[in-house]
Amino acid sequence: MCRAFYCYELVPDLFQIVALGALLRGTFDMDTQPLGAGDSSGSARAEKPLNRRFIESATEMRRLAIEQGDQAYGAVIVRAGQIVGEAPSRVVVNQDPTAHAEMEAIRDAARRLGTRDLADCVMYSTSRPCAMCEAAAYWAHIDRLFFGMEAQDGGAPGLGRC
Ligand SMILES: [Zn+2]
């Protein structure tokens, strides 16, 4: 596990610039995303079609973030096969350094479900959640994290990783 894959690091920002150019040219293709490249941690790659579907939903949030001029990240939260929370990054739009897509998706799910306990929920995000977002997922009791275009299994959220 390496900080280079945290969502606030440089590599995704470079990708954001490339993706924005491709978006403007109408050739945007998420499969070109370099996330996970070089990651040899041995995390299991989820093959379930549902995972793919929810990662695509997170990618829609990512596209929304780009359209709004924000950082290129998106996240969704799923319970029992249904999306119960979703959000793009709002760091720039809200001038809030804590408004990462994952934080916003957690807030959205808690509001929609009327509870701060998100047990039995799974979070999908377009990049590996940073330490802040993973800790928030831990406190929300989210069961499991998946990230990146190949829905890498990030396991259960924990505190103090990396
Ligand atoms: Zn984060």
Q: What is the pLDDT of residue 157?
A: 97
Q: What is the pLDDT of residue 94?
A: 98
Token couple for 130 = 């940073």
Task: Write out the DSSP string of 98-146.
Answer: T--HHHHHHHHHHHHHT-S--TTEEEEESSB--HHHHHHHHHTT--EEE
Token couple for 110 = 């808690």
Q: How far is the CA of 101 from the centre of ligand 1 (A)?
A: 7
**What are the two backbone dihedrals, phi and then psi, of residue 39, each rounded to the nearest 5 degrees?**
-80, 110
Average pLDDT, integer, range 76-94: 98
For 2-19, write each residue's pLDDT tens digit: 444 444 444 444 444 444
Q: How confident is the model at residue 155 (pLDDT cuts 50, 70, 90)?
A: very high
Q: How far is the CA of 53 from the centre of ligand 1 (A)?
A: 22
Residue with tokens 């406190």: 139
Confidence check: pLDDT of 113 > 60? yes
For 27-60, write each residue's pLDDT tens digit: 333 333 333 333 334 344 444 667 889 999 999 9
Q: What is the pLDDT of residue 161?
A: 62
Q: How far is the CA of 82 from the centre of ligand 1 (A)?
A: 23
Among candidates 36, 45, 108, which has minimal Cα distance to 77?
108
Q: How far is the CA of 104 from the centre of ligand 1 (A)?
A: 10
DSSP state letter for 161: -
Q: How far is the CA of 63 from the centre of ligand 1 (A)?
A: 17
Active site residues: 102
End-to-end CA distance of the chain: 7
What residues does the ion ligand 1 have nearby, CB within 5 Å? 7, 100, 130, 133
Q: What is the pLDDT of residue 48?
A: 61
pLDDT, greater one: 41 or 148: 148
How far is Cα 37 from Cα 55, in angstroms, rounded to an integer? 17
